[in-house]
Every structure is written in C-alpha cells, then in structure tokens.
Amino acid sequence: MSTVLDTIIDGVRLDLSARQAVLTQADLERLADQAPPALDGHAALSMPGLSLIAEVKRASPSKGALADIPDPAALAAAYQSGGASVISVLTEERRFGGSLRDLDAVREAVTVPVLRKDFMVSDYQIWEARAHGADLVLLIVAALTDAELVHLHHLAGQLGMTALVEVHDETETQRAIDAGAVVIGVNARNLKTLEIHPDTFSRLSPLVPPGVLRIAESGITGPADAARYAAQGADAVLVGESLVRGGDAAAGARALLAAAHDTSLR
C-alpha cells in the first residue's frame, strides 16, 4: 500500500523529469559553479541558545492551503529581522505550493543561510539547490536508501552545503548517524501517515551523539512548544505554519526565540 510519502515522491519525480528535459545537469553544474559560495548553515545553527529555522510555506498535505504569501522575499526579510538564523523555503509544488522561484526570491532578500526544503532523491536536485543559492538541503531518511543517503549527503558537503537529515524513528536516527549526519532534524510528523507524535523529539534526541545538532520539526504551534523543545535540548526549531498564519512574522519569530529563555513556559 502506498503511503503519503510515496505519493509525494512520485509527483516529485515527475516534476523533476520535466525540469531535466529543459536544463541538463551539466548546465546546472556550470550555474552552481558560478554561484557565490554557500553560507555556513551549520555555524548559523550552532550559536548559543535556541536557533530558529523559519519557513516560507504556502500549503501542506495535512492542512491544505495555509497562506498566499504573495511576496516570499518580504516574508523572509521579516523572519530575519525577527532573529531567524536560517530561512527554509518549500520548493515542492504539488502538495506545498512552492517553487524554485520562491527560493530565488528569498536568497536575494536575506543574508542568513537558506534551506531548500524538498524531497531530494537525485544528484540533479542537489546541484539545482546550489545553483539557486541554497546553503542547506533537506535529506529525508525515509525517502532514501542507505546508499542514496550517504551519496547525497556527501555531494551536498562537496558543494559546501549543510545537510539537514530528517528522521522520524529510532531506526532512521541510527541510519542518519551512520551516514555521517552532523545536523539531524527530528520530525514529530510521520510523513507516511501525517500524524503528529509530540513525544518524538524527547524519545529520539538522546540517541543523537554529542556534537551533532538536533533540530525539532513539526507541531510547533507557539512559544510554549519552542520552550519545551529548548528544555529538551533542541539546538533549533523549524517552524512554518504558525508563523505564516500568525500575521506579524517578525514578532512571531521574536516570540518563539524569547520563549526559549522563559523557564515559566517549560
């Protein structure tokens, strides 16, 4: 039986084939070589205290449409002014309403590192990310074989990018560690069922070796959740839905970061 993740990846592969028919990987590699060097995403997430990865996110498979976001550049600039260390940009089109155009717009608008968040299954997408100015890429363990994970993680590093390696359970956490991940994102949402399990981070975080950054993802509805994850040892939180729906993106970002230092919320 196909899972939600399987269906998403089927669409990603179709869209990828269409792009490959227009622009060859060799062309992408030349564009990537001409791009400014990648910013250090790992360093940006290693600062003292809780860091914020704020997301440009129009829609999701679980919630449908979230926000129109007519100006992704303005949203990203607001996130940066609110203290976000990294800006995440959804580029998957079918379920998330994103695009590489959004990535281009955000890259032009901010000076902090930018994460291309998509379902990466090929070398082409890694080169594509770098050609469009991404400094980090998402690698979802559940979507890749061990060999694919190791290969794409290595390629991202070769291009100067940081890989955020996403896990959902104990087995995936060990696979990420074995692949050499230095930034591990623990997603509370099971991408195969779309269910949220709030205890996922507290369960998996102790399995992550010292020195590897731990990012809490999904289900962060406000400052109290950010404070809880900070107390559990998260180095950063990745937040999209609550920020794009909140109205004032800069204020929302500041509130999440302030909460990490407010012990009354934990």
Active site residues: 55, 57, 117, 166, 187, 217-218
**164: nearest Cα among 226, 105, 89, 82:** 89
Give CA separation, 19 vs 12, 24, 86, 97, 125, in Å. Answer: 11, 8, 27, 17, 10
The span from the CA of 164 to the CA of 252, in Å, is 23
Looking up tokens 């991940």 gives 181
The span from the CA of 185 to the CA of 76, in Å, is 21
The span from the CA of 120 to the CA of 137, in Å, is 8
Helix (H, G, I), strand (E, B) or coil at 135: coil
- Phi, psi for 118 (deg, rounded to 5): -160, -175
The span from the CA of 176 to the CA of 182, in Å, is 9
The span from the CA of 28 to the CA of 22, in Å, is 11
Do the beta carbons of residue 234 and residue 201 sit within 8 Å?
A: yes
Give CA separation, 168 vs 32, 94, 221, in Å. Answer: 31, 23, 19
Count of Cβ atoms closer than 10 Å to residue 254 Cβ: 17
